[in-house]
Amino acid sequence: QVQLQESGPGLVKPSGTLSLTCAVSGDSISSSNWWSWVRQPPGKGLEWIGEIYHSGSTNYNPSLKSRVTISVDKSKNQFSLKLSSVTAADTAVYYCAVKRWLQPNWFDPWGQGTLVTVSS
């Protein structure tokens, strides 16, 4: 049973870089899955940020692509998110999630989520 756990600073200053890590247990990050990030601003809906395959191949939301970097660390069985030039609009609960490589695919499971607030 795959389990995911997000970690990182809960407060980031405007114009700074948001950095989060998702630790994977119960499966190898080298398995046939896309390792994904999804966010949810307080009281609002879900927005897919991007994903990475263990080979390093990535896909990003076009609306965030210029500011997002997702990377994988096979030695630690984890993957990470960096979002640069943050503003208050980036305040959200950030989830990591798994999506299998083949179609049809869906996000399951998800981490518990971590709230990141952008404020000075």
Give min distance, CB of 87 to another protein, in A. 21
Q: Which one of residues 9, 15, 32, 46 is an interface residue with another protein (CB under 8 A)?
A: 46
Give min distance, CB of 75 to another protein, in A. 27
Contacts of 100 (CB under 8 A, 6+ apart): 32, 33, 34, 106
Considering beta carbons, is residue 71 or 112 the nearer one to another protein? 112
3 state DSSP class of 28: coil
Near another protein by CB under 8 A, which window of 7-15, 23-31, 74-82, 93-101?
A: 93-101
21 binds another protein (CB under 8 A): no
Contacts of 51 (CB under 8 A, 6+ apart): 34, 35, 36, 37, 58, 59, 70, 99
Q: Which one of residues 83, 95, 116, 118 is an interface residue with another protein (CB under 8 A)?
A: 95
Question: Residue 59 corresponds to which amino acid?
Answer: N
CA nearest neighbour of 70 among 119, 18, 13 = 18
- Residue 77's region, left for phi above 0, alpha for psi from -120 to 50, else beta, is left
Q: Which one of residues 5, 59, 77, 84 is an interface residue with another protein (CB under 8 A)?
A: 59
39 binds another protein (CB under 8 A): no
**Residue numbers at the binding site for another protein (CB under 8 A):** 36, 45-48, 59, 61-62, 95, 97, 99, 103-113
